[in-house]
Structures are given as structure tokens and as C-alpha cells.
Amino acid sequence: MSDQGGSEPIIQYCGIHKAFDVPVLRGVDLSVGEGEMFALFGPSGTGKSVLLKTTMGLIQPDQGDVRVAGESVFYGGPKALSAIRKLAGYVFQNAALFDSLNVLDNVLMGLPEDELYALSRSEAARKAWNALELVNLDPELVFAKLPAELSGGMKKRVGIARAIVGRPRILLWDEPTTGLDPVNTAAVERLIMRLSRELETTSLIVTHDIEGGLAMCDRVAMLEGGRIRFSGSPSQFRASPDPVVQAFVDRAAAEAQLDLAGEPSGVS
Amino acid sequence: MAEVLARPVVGSLRGLGRAATLVAEHAGAIGQLSWSIIVTLVRGRVAWRDIVQQMYVIGFQSLPIALVTASLAGIVTSQQGGYQFTGSVPLYVLGSVVVESMILEMGPVLTAIVLVGRVGARITAELGTMVVTEQIDAYQSLGRDSIAILVAPRVVAGIIVMPLLVGLADADGILVGMFAAKLTTGLGYESFLYGARLFWHSWDLVYSLTKALAFGLAIPLISCHMGLRTGGGAAGVGRQTTASVMFMTLTVLILDALFPPLMLQ
């Protein structure tokens, strides 16, 4: 598939197959254009996060390849993979902060090793400071804290700061609003849009928050049954005559209503 | 009728097949992990600071419990030897029995079992938690080598500190055994040492420390391997830690059984 909305493709999934006892991905072809904000939807367990992890070589597909900025993730060798990992920042669903490191050191892990060693401690801390400010955290307040001392929302922001501190060209977001209440969800969505704009990155967002994804992104795709069921603009997605897409949109809308009616599951 | 009789045999054979597959799978994965560790070491990607930190955790922090265990082993050997030898064998032989049993068997094996529980279980649980919370994925996505940061320092530290721990445990068990012999049987220190010298082979110390080296390699290697294969959330970490302790204990005992034909012939 090469419908990356006119711009040059920066991420290309080519025939990705992956099974964990049962097949999860059954030949995924998808392209994300440079500078795009792209949302990937799909019911739970359809392999959205698995697909996202293949982008960084964290999960090896059984068949197929991923190309990032023209380099092959799985056949390009260690140097190509290392270059790809410098190019992209990954925001994990539950932040995945390192328990034993404080916030400053967690954020500094986001700098490539060679860059980190070339900087003085104060220069490196300045970069971490800027990244934390970009995600609306007070660096002075959180620098010395351990992840266990942070709220869920703060952890998420530190995870984002770690992903952006190296100024990546690509940001990969794995369920960035999962577990957040509506207020924090909206705040994180605004943050994603602002960071993508200010840092001029390509964003690929895996989410089940359809409304948020449609509002933020230039293009969306839906993964269903291990394949891309739909790929196009948000307006095309809403108007899709495909009954599977429509059923998914209706079900997601109903779930959103239930979430709003219930207690916020949020974090501060 | 024949089918009914054959069913348990077929079942047992299937079970054996599954066990053999599992052992082969683990052996292959441990081989790969060992190779990755060698590569990171050769490329100089392991920080000495991390190794020293792990030496402190694995070695220094394990010292009190290793010494207490060795002391109790020395006391028990001395008391049981005294009970058996009194009136039948010259009591100075007790010196040899305590020294040889501490050096050949109890020092290395009991220290290894202590380390399985204190260090091995901790490593598996720690790495397992890092896997299920995606911290290992985070290391990789940030271009860091999780083997160089998390695995190699633990294995190198285990290899360095285990012989030191066992050496100290051997000495402690012997000394405490000597005091216990004096207290329980009245055997003088000079007689104890005379008996110890009478049957002493310097090779036995090499044997003891070589065993320690093997255990020092096996325990962190297996615990890291098991930790990195964890899945299934908190319950998965619990299951994997239990399996890891069983795996390490069995490996220590199997290695212990393999050493005499290899080094004491």
C-alpha cells in the first residue's frame, strides 16, 4: 500500500505476519508519510501494539519487513537498526520508566549514547530540563524523584519527555491515553498535537480512542483480523460504508459514553 | 485391552519428549545468551561500575547468610563426626572429616543454595518485572544493550565473587567446626589440625573453588535467562521465579554430581 497522503513514506510495513500460538498479523501493508499524524485503530488484541513494536525491531515478524526512512529494520543489520532507533522515539503504554533511575536519569536515557557521553552533566541536564518543560512538568519538582513517587499522569509525561529529548524525526505512541480520565486524555491529546507541530515529527499513534484519533490525525487506518481493513482520511473513515468499520465506530462510541457516565479512572 | 495397557507408556513417553524438548530449548537459549554476554564483554560494552555494584549485591550482601550457613554446617559435621568416631576411630580424624567435607562439598554447595534463594530469585523477579513492564523494550528502543547493562554485569560479578564467598565459607565452617569439636568432644586444636593435615590434598581447594566458579556462572546466568523469558504480568513473574529457583537448585546439584568424576579421579 502506498497511499501515504502525498508525502514521502517514512515508515513502510511490508507484508507483516506474526503469530503468538495463533496468528495475530496476517500480512499488514501500510505506509506512513513524512510529517503525518497517523492513527491506527482496532479492537483489543488485534496486534496494533505488536505492529508498532516491529517498527523499532522490538518484535521480530515471522514474515515481512519494516522500512524506516528507507532502512530495513530486520534485514539492514545492527547499524541500520541503531540508526532507526536514534531516529524514532517510542512512548510506551505505561511509560516503562526505569524503576531504579530518577526522573533526570530516565529522561537522559532518551539521548543517544554517543551524544550523552559527549555532553557535560550540566548540558545534558539542560536538555532534560527542556524536554520536561515541553511536556508541562516542573523539572525542579520532579528531577530527583523516582518513578514510584510519581502519579500515573506524571509518569506518562516523563515517558514522553524521554522519547522527545533526543529530538526524534518520528514519534511512536502506544495507547497514549489509556487509563486516563477525560480531562487528562484531552490534555495528552493536546500535548501530542503540540509536540508533533513544534518538533516537526511524524507521529504514529496506536489507540482505541477513536474520537481523539480522528480529531488529531491527518490519516487513520483500522486493523482488523490481522490485516488493514481501512486506510484513509478521518472524514473517509467516518463515512465508510464498510459494515465492520461502522460496527467498530458504533461500539467505540458506546464505550466512550459508558466511560463518561462512569467514575473517572484517571490519574492526576 | 492392549490399548489400555499402552496408554500410560505412551503418556510417559510423551511426557519425556516434552521434558527433553524443554531442556533443549532452555539449553539453546542459555547458549545464545552466553554468546551475547561474551560479545558484549569482548566489545568492552560492560561498565565496571555496574560489575562492582553487582559484586556488592551478590557478594558482600550475601556474606552474612553464607557465613551463618557455613558455621552451622561446621557445627553439625563436627558433632555428628564426634558421635560416630568416639570410641571407634581416633578422634583426630574428625579434623580431616570437617575440613574435607567443608571444602569438597558443604562450602560450595550450601553457599550456592544460599545464593539461589537470595540472589537468583531476586534477579529473576527483577528482570521479569522489567520485562512485563516493558522496561527491557524501553532499553532496546533507546538503543541501549540490555545484555550489557543488565545481564553481563550480574554474570561477571557472580563468577568473581562466588569463589571468594566459598573460600570464606570454607574457612569459616572449618574454624567453627574446630571450636565445636573442642566443645563437644574435647578434641584439642592441635589434634584437630594434625588430623586435617594428615589427609590434606591441595588439589581439594582447587576443586572447591572450581566448583564455586561453575556455580557462580550458572546461578546468575540461569536467573537472568529465566527473568528475560517472563510473560503474563505479576502472576507470570511469580511463576517464573519459582521455576527459576527449581531450575537453579537442580543445576547446582547436577553440576555437583558431575564434578567428582571430572576432577577427583
pLDDT in tens, chain A (268 residues): 445 556 789 999 999 999 998 999 999 999 999 999 999 999 888 999 999 999 999 999 999 999 999 999 999 999 999 999 999 999 999 999 999 999 999 999 999 989 998 999 999 999 999 999 999 899 999 999 999 999 888 999 999 999 999 999 999 999 998 877 787 788 888 889 988 888 899 999 999 888 889 989 999 999 999 999 999 999 999 899 999 999 888 877 777 666 656 544 433 3
B55 within domain boundaries: yes
B34 within domain boundaries: no
Residue written as cell 503504554?
A: A93
Query: Distance between CA atoms of A155 and A158, rounded to whole angstroms?
Result: 5
Which grid cell sits at A265? 479512572
Closest residue on chain A to B135 (Cα) = A96
Residues in B closer than 8 angstroms to A110, CB to CB, are 142
Q: What percent of chain B has pLDDT over 70?
A: 100
- Are A96 and B134 within 8 A, CB to CB? yes
Q: Which residues pair with A65 in a beta bridge?
A: A14
Which residue among B129, B141, B144 places its CB closest to the CB of A56?
B141
Tell whether B43 lies on the interface with A, counting CB pairs under 8 A.
no
B101 within domain boundaries: yes
Amino acid residing at B47: A
Average pLDDT over every residue of B59-79? 97
The sign of the CA dihedral A254, A174, A48, B237 is: negative
Which residues have C-beta within 8 Å of that of residue B257, sequence separation ≥ 6?
none
Q: Structural domain boundaries of chain A?
A: 9-97+169-261
Average pLDDT over every residue of B141-163? 96
Closest residue on chain B to A59 (Cα) = B137
Following CA atoms B222, B227, B229, B232 in sequence, which dihedral angle do they give, to the nearest 10 degrees?
Answer: 150
Q: Report the pLDDT value the prediction gives residue A267, as an integer from 0 to 100.
A: 37
Which grid cell sits at B227? 527473568
Closest residue on chain B to A97 (Cα) = B135
Which grid cell sits at A151? 502519579
DSSP label of B86? T
Q: Report the pLDDT value the prediction gives residue B196, as an integer from 0 to 100.
A: 94
Query: Distance between CA atoms of A259 and B117, rounded to whole angstroms?
Result: 45
Print the domain residue range for B85.
Answer: 47-263
Closest residue on chain B to A165 (Cα) = B142
Ramachandran class of A16: left when φ > 0, alpha when ψ lies in -120 to 50, beta otherwise? beta
Query: Distance between CA atoms of B50 and A211, rounded to whole angstroms?
Result: 46
Q: Report the pLDDT value the prediction gives residue A264, as an integer from 0 to 100.
A: 44
Average pLDDT over every residue of B58-83? 96
Q: How confident is the model over A59-101, as pLDDT tens digits?
A: 999 999 999 999 999 999 999 999 999 999 999 999 999 999 9
Which grid cell sits at A189? 491529546
Query: Distance between CA atoms of B198 and A158, rounded to whole angstroms?
Result: 67
B32 within domain boundaries: no
Residues in B closer than 8 angstroms to A173, CB to CB, are none
Nearest CA-CA distance, residue B142 and chain A, Å? 6
Query: Distance between CA atoms of A38 and A221, rounded to whole angstroms?
Result: 8
- Across all residues in chain B, what is the average pLDDT? 95
Nearest CA-CA distance, residue B136 and chain A, Å? 9
- Are B143 and A58 within 8 A, CB to CB? no
Residues in A closer than 8 angstroms to B141, CB to CB, are 56, 58, 85, 88, 90
Nearest CA-CA distance, residue A234 and chain B, Å? 29
Nearest CA-CA distance, residue B34 and chain A, Å? 19
How many domains are contained in chain B?
A: 1
Q: Report the pLDDT value the prediction gives residue B5, as an integer from 0 to 100.
A: 79
Q: Report the pLDDT value the prediction gives residue A261, as an integer from 0 to 100.
A: 60
B51 within domain boundaries: yes
Mutant choice from B134, B147, B149 vs A, greatest count of A C-beta within 10 A:
B134
Superfamily of domain A9-97+169-261: P-loop containing nucleotide triphosphate hydrolases (3.40.50.300)
Q: Which residues pair with A38 in a beta bridge?
A: A204, A219
Nearest CA-CA distance, residue B210 and chain A, Å? 34
Confidence of residue B3 (pLDDT cuts 50, 70, 90): confident
Nearest CA-CA distance, residue A110 and chain B, Å? 6
- A-contacting residues of B 176-205, CB under 8 Å? none
* pLDDT of residue B169 exceeding 90: yes
B31 within domain boundaries: no
B17 within domain boundaries: no
Q: Which residues pair with A63 in a beta bridge?
A: A17
Work out the end-to-end distance of chain B between its first and last CA atoms, rounded to an integer number of angstroms.
Answer: 51
Which grid cell sits at A117? 557521553
- Are B134 and A162 within 8 A, CB to CB? no
Look at A181 and B226; give whichever has higher pLDDT: B226
Q: What is the DSSP string of chain A?
A: ---STTSPEEEEEEEEEEEESEEEEEEEEEEEETT-EEEEE--TTSSHHHHHHHHTTSS--SEEEEEETTEETTTSHHHHHHHHHHHEEEE-TT----TTS-HHHHHHTTS-HHHHHHS-HHHHHHHHHHHHHHTT--HHHHTT--GGGS-HHHHHHHHHHHHHTT--SEEEEESTTTT--HHHHHHHHHHHHHHHHHHT-EEEEE-S-HHHHHHH-SEEEEEETTEEEEEE-HHHHHT---HHHHHHHHHHHHHHHHHHHS------
Closest residue on chain A to B133 (Cα) = A96
Name which of A246, A196, A199 is nearest A41 in CA terms.
Answer: A246
Mutant choice from A82, A86, A92 vs B, greatest count of B C-beta within 10 A:
A92
**Residue contacts between A and B (CB atoms, under 8 Å):** 45
Tell whether B49 lies on the interface with A, counting CB pairs under 8 A.
no
pTM of the model: 0.87
B181 within domain boundaries: yes
